[in-house]
């Protein structure tokens, strides 16, 4: 990363030079006009007064600008810089005023009075200027201190904003930046925790079936199981474990695609009614084993639907499988689909215990598996099904949400405009 120093300017701002020059020229013009028309002096007297003022102004400008640019490079503090420049400029201004006063007044008393008045005015103006500048430098010092704290990881630091000027706007921008950094840091921390949890869950979900498969394979290989029905049962259990691991690996692969570059969706008009019927049929045998009623309620004007049938089939499979996993025996699951104007709605409702309220804001987050999910089922899962469903639905331009309504209810939409 290339860093650009901010303490030394990379190029001279011409206005730093032009503004004092223009100011000096305007001051000389005003002084000449006042002497000529207000004091009613002739042209020769005006020139005799303005000429030394012009010389003094030129010398003052040169000295002040040299000191200004030197301070930008070598001064360790803005306060010292401004104090030094204020003293020098005040001294030059007072000197110019005294020179002009000596030319204008010959009376000693008047000259002394004028000198005192110039000294008083210079001190008052310099004091007010220094007071205003101290407000700026105090604000900048606070910003610098808090910036160091934010850089060290304290994202809770905030600047006290007072006023509506540029310094206040800078403080507001700093607070907004600190807030964004705090949110980003929290998101990174949450994501790191989720990834650690994912590693633990996946390790458990792979280790458990592998251990079981190893025990059954060793038993079959050593001839410890000879009964044909028991051998078939072992093979069925091994096949179920292999299928479970295959689903887990597919989920991880799908999630990696979502994270890497997003999901490319090719959509065409298809029958969502048939897709829902096929998805229900896929789980029908498993539902009957547990005496769960698995039904569908499909609107008459539903089809055709513009979608990627294979991806939406994956969403339905995830949602129905999730509902079946968490629905108690003798319960029921209903898949309801309907069209409202240019939007398709699909809802999967089960008669289980519903979602735990504290888990609901994070249900669709990647790698999240709340306590509520574990309490609703005795099995294990990497918690990727709902995250994948959300990614597919959002890739279609739709939305997905969850609620409790006499059980758990998950609804997703597919826009058709």
Instruction: Tell me: do 237 and 289 sit in the same domain.
Output: no
Highest mean pLDDT among 125-129, 160-164, 183-187, 360-364 belongs to 183-187
Instruction: Tell me: do 55 and 150 sit in the same domain.
Output: yes
Whether 329 maps to a domain, the answer reads yes
Asked which of 240, 260, 280 is the last residue of a domain, the reply is 260
Predicted confidence (pLDDT) at residue 15 exceeds the cutoff of 90:
no
Instruction: Tell me: do 273 and 408 sit in the same domain.
Output: yes
Instruction: Tell me: do 399 and 310 sit in the same domain.
Output: yes
Q: Give the pLDDT mean for 354-373.
A: 67
In CATH, what number is assigned to the domain containing residue 232? 1.10.287.130
Convert the pLDDT of each residue in 179-202 to its tens digit. 888 888 887 887 777 677 667 666
Whether 159 maps to a domain, the answer reads no
Convert the pLDDT of each residue in 367-396 to its tens digit. 555 544 433 343 334 456 787 788 888 888
Asked which of 222, 238, 260 is the last residue of a domain, the reply is 260
Whether 116 maps to a domain, the answer reads yes
Rounded Cα gap, residues 45 and 35, in angstroms: 8
Highest mean pLDDT among 18-27, 45-54, 279-288, 355-364 belongs to 279-288
Classify strands 332-340 and 293-298 as parallel, antiparallel or unpaired: parallel
Nearest-10 Cα torsion for 316, 318, 319, 320: 80
Torsion sign across C-alpha atoms 312, 318, 319, 320 = positive
Of 334 and 166, more confident? 334
Q: Which domain holds residue 95?
A: 14-154
At 348 the pLDDT is 92
Convert the pLDDT of each residue in 298-352 to its tens digit. 888 888 889 988 888 888 888 888 888 888 889 999 999 999 888 999 999 998 8
Least confident of 70-79, 103-112, 239-248, 377-386: 377-386
Of 168 and 383, more confident? 168
Rounded Cα gap, residues 210 and 236, in angstroms: 14
Instruction: Tell me: do 243 and 375 sit in the same domain.
Output: no
Instruction: Tell me: do 193 and 217 sit in the same domain.
Output: yes
Looking at every residue in the chain, the average pLDDT score rounds to 76
Of 69 and 415, more confident? 415
Rounded Cα gap, residues 100 and 57, in angstroms: 12
Instruction: Tell me: do 350 and 373 sit in the same domain.
Output: yes
Whether 127 maps to a domain, the answer reads yes
Predicted confidence (pLDDT) at residue 1 exceeds the cutoff of 50:
no
Whether 304 maps to a domain, the answer reads yes
Domains in the chain: how many in total?
3
Residue count (the chain) = 417
In CATH, what number is assigned to the domain containing residue 319? 3.30.565.10
Of 289 and 338, more confident? 338
Instruction: Tell me: do 310 and 357 sit in the same domain.
Output: yes
Whether 297 maps to a domain, the answer reads yes
Instruction: Tell me: do 150 and 24 sit in the same domain.
Output: yes
Asked which of 231, 260, 289 is the last residue of a domain, the reply is 260
């Amino acid at each position: 990363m290339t860093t650009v120093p901010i303490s030394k300017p990379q190029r001279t701002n011409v206005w730093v030079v032009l503004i004092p020059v223009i100011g000096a020229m305007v001051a000389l013009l005003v002084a000449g006009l006042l002497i000529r028309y207000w004091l009613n002096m002739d042209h020769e007297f005006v020139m005799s007064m303005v000429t030394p003022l012009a010389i003094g102004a030129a010398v003052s400008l040169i000295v002040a600008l040299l000191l200004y640019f030197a301070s930008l490079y070598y001064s360790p503090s803005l306060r010292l810089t401004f104090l030094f420049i204020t003293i020098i400029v005040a001294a030059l201004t007072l000197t110019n005023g005294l020179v002009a006063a000596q030319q204008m007044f010959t009376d000693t008393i008047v000259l002394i009075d004028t000198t005192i008045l110039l000294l008083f005015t210079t001190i008052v103006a310099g004091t007010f200027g220094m007071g205003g500048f101290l407000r700026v430098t105090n604000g900048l010092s606070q910003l610098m201190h808090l910036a160091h704290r934010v850089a060290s990881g304290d994202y809770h630091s905030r600047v006290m904003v007072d006023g509506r000027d540029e310094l206040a706007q800078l403080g507001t921008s700093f607070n907004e930046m600190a807030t964004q950094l705090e949110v980003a840091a929290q998101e990174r921390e949450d994501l790191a925790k989720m990834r650690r949890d994912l590693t633990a869950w996946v390790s458990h979900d792979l280790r458990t079936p592998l251990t079981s498969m190893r025990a059954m394979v060793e038993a079959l290989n050593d001839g410890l199981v000879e009964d044909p029905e028991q051998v078939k049962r072992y093979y069925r259990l091994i096949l179920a474990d292999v299928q479970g691991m295959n689903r887990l690996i597919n989920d991880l692969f799908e999630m990696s695609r979502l994270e890497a570059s997003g999901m490319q969706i090719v959509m065409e008009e298809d029958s969502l009614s048939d897709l829902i019927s096929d998805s229900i049929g896929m789980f029908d045998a498993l539902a009957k084993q547990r005496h769960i009623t698995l039904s569908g309620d499909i609107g008459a004007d539903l089809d055709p639907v513009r979608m990627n049938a294979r991806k939406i089939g994956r969403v339905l499979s995830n949602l129905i499988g999730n509902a079946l996993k968490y629905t108690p025996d003798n319960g029921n699951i209903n898949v309801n689909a309907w069209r409202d104007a240019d939007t398709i709605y699909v809802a999967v409702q089960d008669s289980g215990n519903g979602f735990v309220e504290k888990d609901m804001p994070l249900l669709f987050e990647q790698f999240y598996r709340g306590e509520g999910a574990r309490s609703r089922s005795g099995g294990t899962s990497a918690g990727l099904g709902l995250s994948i469903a959300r990614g597919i639905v959002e890739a279609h331009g739709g939305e997905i949400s969850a609620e409790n309504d006499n059980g758990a209810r998950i609804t997703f939409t597919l826009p058709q405009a």
